[in-house]
Structure 1
Amino acid sequence: MLIQRERSCLLIVDMQERLLPAMAGVEPLLHHAGILIRAAKRLDLPILVSEQYPKGLGPTDPGLRTLLGNEIEPLPKTHFSCTEDPDIRARLHALAREQGRDQVIILGVEAHVCVLQTALGLPKLGLAPFVVGDAVASRQPERRQMALDRMARHGIEIVTTEMALFEWLGKAGTPEFKELSALIR
């Protein structure tokens, strides 16, 4: 199934300042997250941001907060899965019901805990998860890979940043294409 711009929303899972330094491959993770945030904002896609126990793990990474802007308020949670948090679940349902946004493009940490549990929970809500494999991380690379393998076995679409970007764009020659394709060069 292709990602469709008009059916998509972006879900950023727990990209917090005290958690990110422990992740393997944090620089590529932040780079790909930045591309996806810029693209989602330029294409007017809804963006949801979760924060796992922000009192202990701190707020969303300052660089990402700058990209997100003040209009996007992170949603605190204590459940590992975003789908188990009543506020996040309600927002996802509202996006699907009111705007037809039933495709959830997921990035964040940790791949084998919060990302995995969220991705596995979304189909139970009637939503289609797409996990951006090069925009998720864990403390150990093998845990990230095991999570991606498990999600794929359960029918979760694993995509790359470029796949998501070009499926959102759909065609070349548009002002959006010219602006956003430059992000991956």
Structure 2
Amino acid sequence: MLKPEESVIVFIDVQGKLAQIMHQTESLHNKLTGLILGAQLFEMPIVWLEQLPDKLGATAEPLNSLLAQTSSPIAKHHFSAWPCEAFRNQLAELGRKNIIIAGIEAHICVYQTCSDLIDQGFNLHVVSDCVSSRTAENKNLGIQMMQAKGAQVTGLETLLFELQHEAQGERFKKLLKIIK
């Protein structure tokens, strides 16, 4: 079972015009908002990445504003985040082996980052409704490839309730508002 104090969210490349043409983009953005709010509720760090932000643009709103409350984006130019020294340094500083991954595109940047992190000994959890690609086929392919590589596949609601562990308390009440 995942525990908030042992986990980190890796949020990948939900930027500019590309973020608006993902398969089921409105649902994706709603789920990503829930993931960010959930991470904040559980006081989990978010490592936030942007692919070539000078060309692709900044992270889409309102995600950008929510993320900026607790972190700053790391610019990258490889599809995988692993070659980015700032990314590796941030993960090392956090010292957490459980990585919860979300973002776009599932079959490119999310998959390659996931693959590299698994190769480095991290435990990966892909939030299936918090990743997407321009087509459903590529989203599904990306999830299948990550799972074949050894990643666990979960959904946002499953993840948040797993992190919560119990159906009581103030945090549970706040969690219910995020889910609804």
Same fold (TM over 0.5): yes
Aligned pair 1:152/2:151, yes or no?
no
What amino acid is the match of 1:41? Q
Residue of structure 2 aligned with 1:132, choices 127, 149, 168: 127
What is the CA–CA distance in structure 2 between the aligned matches of 1:84 and 1:167, rounded to whole Å?
A: 31
Q: State how 1:1-185 maps to structure 2 within 5 Å.
A: 2-96=1-95, 101-185=96-180
* Cα deviation code 1:110-137 (max 9, x no counterpart): 0000000011111222211111001101
TM-score between both structures, scaled by the size of structure 1? 0.93
Answer whether contact 1:5 1:167 (CA < 8 A) is retained.
Answer: no
Structure 1 residues 135 and 71: alpha-carbon distance in aligned structure 2, compared to 1, 3 A threshold: closer
Structure 1 gap segments, 5+ residues each? none
What is the CA–CA distance in structure 1 between the aligned matches of 2:70 and 2:155, rounded to whole Å?
A: 26
Answer whether contact 2:50 2:58 (CA < 8 A) is retained.
Answer: yes
What is the CA–CA distance in structure 2 between the aligned matches of 1:160 and 1:48, rounded to whole Å?
A: 19
Where has structure 1 moved over 4 Å in runs of 4 or more?
none
Deviation of 1:87 after TM superposition, in Å, equals 0.9
What is the CA–CA distance in structure 1 between the aligned matches of 2:166 and 2:104, rounded to whole Å?
A: 31
What amino acid is the match of 1:117? Q
What is the CA–CA distance in structure 2 between the aligned matches of 1:16 and 1:164, rounded to whole Å?
A: 24
Structure 1 residues 176 and 63: alpha-carbon distance in aligned structure 2, compared to 1, 3 A threshold: same
What is the CA–CA distance in structure 1 between the aligned matches of 2:120 and 2:144, rounded to whole Å?
A: 22
What is the CA–CA distance in structure 2 between the aligned matches of 1:133 and 1:3, rounded to whole Å?
A: 16
Answer whether contact 2:4 2:43 (CA < 8 A) is retained.
Answer: no
Number of aligned positions between the proteins: 180
* Cα deviation code 1:58-108 (max 9, x no counterpart): 011121012223441100000111112111011112211xxxx21111110
Moved more, 64-73 or 155-164: 64-73
Give the fraction of aligned pairs with identical amino acids, expressed as a percent. 34
What is the CA–CA distance in structure 2 between the aligned matches of 1:76 and 1:58, rounded to whole Å?
A: 11
Deviation of 1:182 after TM superposition, in Å, equals 2.1
Aligned alpha-carbon RMSD (Å): 1.1
What is the CA–CA distance in structure 2 between the aligned matches of 1:3 and 1:120, rounded to whole Å?
A: 20
Structure 2 gap segments, 5+ residues each? none
